[in-house]
Amino acid sequence: MNPVSIVASGHTRFGRLDGKNLEDLIVEAASEAIADAAIDPAEIDAVYLGHFNSGMVADGFASSLIHQVSPALRFKPATRCENACASGSAAIFSAINAIRSGSADLVLVVGAEKMTSNTTEQVTRALAGAGYQNNPAEAGLSFPQLFGIAAREYTERYHDPLPAMARIAVKNHRNALDNPLAQMRREVDFEFCNTVSDKNPLIAPPLRLTDCSLISDGAAAVILASPERAKSFARQVSFRAHTHVSDFLPLDKRDFLAFEGPELAIRRAYEEAGISHQDLDFAEVHDCFTIAELLVYEAMGLAPKGQGERALLDGTVMRDGRLPVNLSGGLKAKGHPVGATGVSMHALAFRQLTGTAGGIQREGAELGMVFNMGGAAVANHVSILEATRA
């Protein structure tokens, strides 16, 4: 089957964007993508929105806010997709399916979230809604606490992961310095990240502040095209593979530390694309907490179970390494506006593969991977993207 392609992108800055509401963010990202594609909005057949919400904003019916971009979008079918922190990838995959079904040739996808108008406690409670609610013991756990459990289990099963987690934080903060869209462009050193202090307190033991992603506002957009329609665009990045694996929601029904859902989604994507991790030029992965990125290294096959730190120590995942991970700064430093995250990953991968990523460019990149996760390794979306025309 001829693959669907990304042909344009848009991306707001991520951060505390006071004075901008959800509608403003959606319109800004979508407008940039349409301008990047150099098309009349009337040419778009459908729009999809990735948006988690969970009570963080009053906009419970946000899909048609994309229509505010242009009167020409009025009456275009609009659909909101929600899959926790993978809502953006869910929207992209839904758009791919619409194109493959023949019901659309050109689709606009936006991911957006407005989070900072809430307190930290309110955001923590909203995100916790993506956990299992029918077990009081699990329902009472925040996501930092859930991934704190993963870090403790890693210690019990293998060894202390905290030094490796600190190295991931240092790496991603360093990468974000060259990304003007990133929320936290501030370098931190290993000693700071690996030491509990007043400025780096414990959030959910053993997770420290530097192990946790950010509360962010922001939006990103991509335009997807059918194989025939994509030929008319100057830049084209095709989906060589896209896989979606969902696991049980209750933690007590699975081995969280095994990361079976992410591993299966990644393995299936490799098989569909006919590649291994050796063929990838870069990856953008879901580092909601530094322990998650460490586990992703192992799920990708970069190191055996319990030895993910090898990928850091031998330089594999570093900026100048064989397979740099999170050149954007990742969720850790770029920011994590939940519904926008998956679309942001794809938008920045598109820019990498078309040589338009600016300061975070990986020279000569031809093949990249995106891994976007919803919940505690529950919804797992993987894309293998290839530069068709750069």
DSSP per position, 297-334: HHHHTSS-TT-TTHHHHTSTTSTTSSS-B-TT-HHHHT
Whether 336 sits among the annotated catalytic residues: the reply is yes
| Residue 373 · residue 289 · CB < 8 Å | no
Which is the catalytic residue, given 244, 286, 336, 346?
A: 336
Which is the catalytic residue, given 85, 193, 212, 288?
A: 85
Q: How far is CA 144 from CA 82, 109, 149, 289, 390, in A?
A: 21, 29, 9, 8, 40
- CA 216 to centroid of chain Cα atoms: 13
Q: What backbone phi and psi angles, to 5 degrees, belong to 226?
A: -70, 160
Separation of alpha carbons 338 and 331, rounded Å: 9
H/E segment holding residue 237? strand 236-246
* Helix, strand, coil fractions of the chain, as percent rounded to 5: 40, 20, 40
Separation of alpha carbons 95 and 1, rounded Å: 16
Q: With left for phi above 0 and alpha for psi between -120 and 50, is residue 36 left, alpha or beta?
A: alpha
Whether 81 sits among the annotated catalytic residues: the reply is no
| Residue 337 · residue 118 · CB < 8 Å | no
Residues annotated as part of the active site: 85, 336
